[in-house]
Amino acid sequence: MIPADGEVAIRASGLTRRFGDLVAVDRVDLQVPARHVYGFLGPNGSGKSTTIRMLCGLLTPSAGEIEVLGLRIPAEAEALRRHIGYMTQKFSLFEDLSVRENLDFLAAIQGVPRARTRARIDQLIEQYHFGDLQKQLAGTMSGGQKQRLALACAVIHEPELLFLDEPTSAVDPESRRDFWEKLFELADAGTTLLVSTHLMDEAERCHRLAILDHGVLVADGTPQALTGRLQGRTFIVESADPRRAQRLIVDVPGVLSVAQVGNSLRVLTAAGAAAAADMCRHIDATLAGAGQPVHTHATPANLEDVFVAVTGPAAEQAERAA
């Protein structure tokens, strides 16, 4: 087993990738703790997939340094491949092969010793609940079943590090929940997992998160730490006419975003805006003056608030205000 120096499985410093004039990843610094589920969160086109491809040695950086499981990447990428697994959002196994045949083929590709292969496949078939399905063709399986098979194939060689690029984008909530239970089982057994996603409920499950926007690392920390940084900046507005109230609140000084959630409005304010109590009074007074009686109260931030605060138009507005 390759040791992860100082219990850090991945280190990256100044990681940059250019495609012509486009800077897809811009001087990203990362430290991924060993045996953790580390989330990559960001809008489409934010650089998540490009970063993952560099980290696992599939794409050469334009600049920066990478160390993965104690190996220098890309120089030692070939040695690294024996110790990592990779799963993409698109099911890419052989649909005309059965569950067991897919696992057997991937075991051969990954160099699992033949003497070990049968026992390893039997273990995965039981662990991933394929007992009655092992002879079924992969192409005839449901989305959730295909996803489980893809994960089983990705770990057939028992990798120490697993990269997952938006692996649950096309499955139902129950299948996603089961899939995440499997990920935590892997982490408990010693595997480090790096999972890219744009789904907030998945991001909340991670031990730690990095948020990318236009190739830049804009936030990094545990979900609790990231939401804690927005303390006093998130509010709920109860109104009988939320659509009209929303149009009025967006013009209140210090407000970054207003989103309707059911019959209420969720308001995010800029750093350095009025204190929570003052902001509640200001919003109530603004709407009351327009004939819109409301009740505003502070509420804990969630990861969607964090995402809005550090990416896209709200982040640009906050930067201009600063």
CATH of residue 246's domain is 3.30.70.100
pTM: 0.88
- Name residue, tokens 């939401």: 227
Omega before 74 within 30 of 0, i.e. cis? yes
176 shares its domain with 260: no
212 shares its domain with 276: no
Q: Of all helices (H) and strands (E), which one includes residue 136?
A: none
Instruction: Return d(Cα 227, Cα 32) in angstroms, integer.
Output: 20
232 shares its domain with 169: no
Per the DSSP assignment, residues forming a β-bridge with 40 are 196, 210
89 pLDDT more than 80:
no
Instruction: Return d(Cα 57, Cα 68) in angstroms, integer.
Output: 9
Number of domains observed in the structure of the chain: 2
Instruction: Return d(Cα 195, Cα 211) in angstroms, integer.
Output: 12
Enclosing domain of residue 287: 228-321
Nearest to 171, CA basis, from 162, 182, 186: 182
Instruction: Return d(Cα 202, Cα 39) in angstroms, integer.
Output: 8
Instruction: Return d(Cα 169, Cα 202) in angstroms, integer.
Output: 11
pLDDT digits (tens, 9 = 90+) for 180-219: 999 999 999 999 999 998 888 889 999 999 999 999 999 9
Nearest to 41, CA basis, from 223, 182, 175: 223
CATH code, domain with 169: 3.40.50.300
pLDDT digits (tens, 9 = 90+) for 115-140: 999 999 999 999 999 999 999 999 99
Tell me which amino acid residue 81 is: R
Instruction: Return d(Cα 156, Cα 167) in angstroms, integer.
Output: 17
Using pLDDT thresholds of 50, 70 and 90, give the confidence band for residue 167: confident
Pairing mode of beta strands 294-298, 255-261: unpaired
Instruction: Return d(Cα 271, Cα 268) in angstroms, integer.
Output: 10
Residue 5: how many other CB atoms lie within 10 Å? 12
Nearest to 250, CA basis, from 272, 235, 268, 263: 268
20 shares its domain with 100: yes
